[in-house]
Structure 1
């Protein structure tokens, strides 16, 4: 049994290059951090008193799956009302936040070419949303 009643989870499409997986994960979890402040712990400091930024106060689990699984997880997360960030294939061709948001806004929800999503919520709800996904190798 986990010590955390909630879960932060990322689901990546399994055909991404390594650099894409890392980039998409970083972008997706930034949405959780920015919008769900209770996920953030206290600032860090080393023994010399050097201060560091706070980070998530619980683990981030990263999963992988194919496109249809990602689409299904997206729908299940929406049905459960989970806070969610999305990354679509089109975002690899943009270079800034304004263009990123415009690229997502230009496509209907059912037609999004999802390469990753991140969610936060009660463990059970996240587990149900990500049903069928496997932990990223």
Structure 2
């Protein structure tokens, strides 16, 4: 507990460590534009669902305001269709916040049609091309077993 006269011993330059992880797992057979598109869509769901992942708004030295972003890095991984399916099952079994992107979504053009495409298929039959997950570091690491860092 810090008192009024006690010196502040916190270091602003000390490394920031997170006990949580934000990760995106992409299918390794996607084209570059698809990887970027899927990643953007997947992470867009985390902020509203898990508000603590969002930091404070930004401002430059001129006082121009910018939107807040994630407070921690987003790690991007890749894996096979089988790796993605297994990771999806592990994320579900751990009840971690997650977002999915299926191959069908490349043929839709809006949120309504995206949700309908996912709703039309049972969870075990989803043709997953991307998965975002957030949670304790060790739980997310277990979900991503078999995946490798995206090059």
User: Shorter-normalised TM-score: what interval?
Assistant: over 0.9
Bigger radius of gyration: 2
Equivalent residue for 1:4? 18
| 1:89 aligns with one of 103, 120, 144 | 103
TM (norm. structure 1) is 0.98
Counterpart Cα distance in 1 of 2:110 and 2:101: 13
Relative contact order: is structure 1 or structure 2 higher (C-alpha 8 Å, sep ≥ 6)? Answer: 1
Distance 2:20 2:122 in 1: 30
Match runs of 1:56-135 below 5 Å: 56-135=70-149
Measured after TM superposition, the shift of residue 34 of structure 1 is 1.7
Q: Which digits, 9 at most, give the CA deviation of each residue in 1:62-109, with x for residues without a partner?
A: 000000000000000100110000000000000000000000000001
Higher helix share goes to which structure? Answer: 1
Q: Which residue of 1 aligns with 2:50?
A: 36
Moved over 2 A (4+): none
Question: What runs of 5+ residues in structure 1 fail to find an aligned partner?
Answer: none
CA distance in 1, matches of 2:132, 2:122: 19
Shift of 1:2: 7.3
CA RMSD, Structure 1 to Structure 2 (Å): 1.1
Q: Deviations over 1:15-73 (max 9, x none)?
A: 00000000000000001112100000000000000000000000000000000000000
